[in-house]
């Protein structure tokens, strides 16, 4: 499991330029097989799509799942920063695509 030890702070991921880690949620069966691929991205805003949902903290994303009994879903990291999001109706969404990474939820208990 990729270990992203800090959230909302600068991290280094495989030589990439350091960026903040934000969070999203995804279906485990859909997301997990693609973890570790450089081209595994959460989709940003398009003409016909508002962009993937983004949470600023791991806890906020987990609370979202807990409120919806999201047992088939889990929290994932997004290598991006808050400037790549916009707020609408109390929720944040991606503007540009962002790389999805695995986070170790044991770091956030």
pLDDT at 74 over 70: yes
pLDDT of the residue at 19 = 63
For residue 78, give Cα distances in angstroms to 45, 59, 69, 84.
15, 14, 22, 11
Question: Where do we find the tokens 């800090």?
Answer: 6
Q: Which residues in the chain belong to E strands, given as ranges?
A: 10-11, 19-27, 41-42, 53-54, 73-79, 85-88, 91-94, 98-101
pLDDT of the residue at 70 = 76
23 contacts: CB under 8 Å, gap ≥ 6: 7, 54, 55, 56, 57, 58, 60, 61, 75, 76, 77, 78, 103
pTM over cut 0.85: no
Write out pLDDT tens, residues 13-64.
544 445 689 999 999 999 999 998 999 999 999 999 999 999 999 999 999 9
């Amino acid at each position: 499991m990729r270990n992203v030890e800090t959230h909302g702070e600068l991290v280094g991921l495989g030589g990439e330029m350091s960026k903040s880690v934000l969070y999203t949620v995804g279906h485990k069966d859909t997301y997990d097989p693609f973890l570790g691929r450089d081209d595994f991205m959460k989709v940003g805003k398009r003409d016909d799509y508002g962009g993937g949902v983004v949470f600023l903290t791991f806890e906020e994303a987990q609370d979202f799942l807990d409120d919806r009994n999201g047992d088939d879903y889990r929290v994932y990291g997004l290598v991006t920063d808050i400037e790549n999001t916009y707020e609408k109706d109390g929720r944040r969404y991606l503007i540009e695509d962002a790389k999805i990474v695995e986070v170790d939820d044991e770091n956030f208990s």
